[in-house]
Amino acid sequence: MEAVLAELETALGRGFNRPELLVRALTHRSLANERVASEQVLNGQIFASGMEEAAEAGDNERLEFLGDAVLGLVVAEALFLTHTEWQEGELTRVRAQLVSRKHMAEVAAAIGLGGHLRLSRGEDKSGLRRKMTVLSNTMEAVLGALFLDGGLEPVRAFVRRWVMGEAVEQLARELRSGAALGNYKSALQEHLQAARAGAPVYRVKSESGPDHRKRFLVEVRLKSAEGEPGKQLARGMGSTKKNAEQDAARRALERLTAAGIKVGSLEALQPEAGEEEPAAQ
């Protein structure tokens, strides 16, 4: 256990004075409940409720609550101090993206947090350690443990390196471009409306993978004023149709920006590499 914790502590940038805090932050309620159930069987005891026993076994939900609050504070502080030109609305929008479930799951994946989760056998086999919600919640619990063990400074250091970093610059660029932060579909629609080029239309091209790990390929095309789907703008992939549409919109925005597409010049946009020019409709 110590060797495993040492690996994670390196990624977190701090060795814990109270390693039991980190162990609890990594403990999903399924494992706590599993242990309570095992103890009940072994002791031959019957309880009206397993809530108190689960708490004693030590799951990470209370630490998650604390970590969520600490994360919001540290991110807000950093944005307030480093972006003095932003008003309340801009600060709020960027903070929301940085502390979002999606972004925190990405941070958790970047430091390999999933491999350290302590789950019940059943949930481990089900692939729970790869779920976005579980990863983001556990990341918040770890930040709560980091705060209790060392105060705000180690949390600040971790947030600067992993939570903010390049993500803040990307969000700042989106703010300057007028993009709707994180909502690429809205941003693409606004871009095309400003160019009087029509509206985007999304179509699912294919689905792959088992039910619990679906992958969707979505194509976004330009819908002309006449209502007929026209030029292909981009394709995107995602675990849901919604995510795939956002990915397609993001790619389309990047291509339009890189090509310097202006009003009336969408004909200059070439098909994506490896894809044929869409047939006329």
| Residue 119 pLDDT level (bands cut at 50, 70, 90) | confident
Model pTM score: 0.61
Domains of the chain, each with CATH number or no CATH: 2-177 (1.10.1520.10), 184-263 (3.30.160.20)
> Rounded to an integer, what distance in angstroms lies between the CA atom of residue 207 and that of residue 240?
10
- Give the Cα separation of 74 and 53 in Å (integer): 33
Burial of residue 220 (number of CB atoms within 10 Å: 0-12, 13-18, 19+): buried
HSE (side-chain half, CA atoms, 13 Å) at 271: 11
pLDDT over 50 (residue 17): yes
Three-state DSSP at 269 gives coil
User: Quick one: average pLDDT of 255-269?
Assistant: 57
State how far the Cα of 21 lies from the Cα of 144, in Å rounded to an integer.
9
Q: What pLDDT band is residue 38 in, cutting at 50, 70 and 90?
A: very low
Rounded to 5°, the CA angle 139-250-104 comes to 5
The pLDDT tens digits for 179-230 are 566 678 877 887 787 777 778 999 999 999 888 778 999 999 987 656 555 7
Chain segment 238-252, per-residue pLDDT in tens = 888 988 998 899 888
169-192 burial by CB neighbour count: b if 16+ within 10 A, else e? eebbebeeeebebbbbbebbbebb
Looking at residue 158, its pLDDT comes to 97
Question: What pLDDT was estimated at residue 42?
Answer: 41
Kindly state the average pLDDT of the residues 110-126: 83
Active site residues: 68, 140
Token pair, residue 109, equals: 């994946």
pLDDT band at 139 (very low <50, low <70, confident <90, very high): very high
